[in-house]
Amino acid sequence: MQLTADELDARLPVWGALASMFVDADVTQTREQRAQVLAASPYSLAALEAILIEEVYPVCWMNLAAVEGQRTRFEPIWLASRILRRDPAAESSTRLLELARIAVPRSSEWADTKAALAVLRQLPGDAG
């Protein structure tokens, strides 16, 4: 993935916020913070969902399936390096995208995060 410096600056906090849904912790506790980061981003809801499906999910989903060594947070540098070096044309990436396209829309946490984001973006004076 090739991003300009400005695109990378906009993506980094979004990646971190979306990755927070894949940790071994009560993700409802970070929902408001996640929604605030996403609301402050320049991305539409559709773009955020695409970033979740195409960029974050393929890198982070295994943490939810891990029995040992689960993460309670993703280090930003690790997360960015994994996302940026991923080969979306690889066969394994294609399968992960298919899985993500099914799983993400069914995720109750993503639905709740989107609802919180919508509320924040409707606040008076919010340019998001």
What are the pLDDT digits (tens) for 59-86? 998 887 766 656 678 999 999 999 999 8
Number of C-alpha atoms within 13 angstroms, CB side, residue 27? 21
Distances (CA, A) of 90 to 58, 81, 97, 107: 12, 17, 11, 25
126, pLDDT greater than 50: no
Distances (CA, A) of 54 to 1, 29, 58, 72, 112: 11, 25, 7, 22, 20
Percent of the chain with pLDDT over 90: 67
> What pLDDT does residue 62 have?
85
Structure-token match 């991305």, residue found: 43
Q: Is 23 exposed, middle or buried (0-12, 13-18, 19+ CB in 10 A)?
A: middle
pTM: 0.87
**Nearest to 7, CA basis, from 66, 63, 55, 68:** 55
What are the pLDDT digits (tens) for 22-55? 998 889 999 999 999 999 999 999 999 999 999 9
Quote the mean pLDDT of the chain: 89
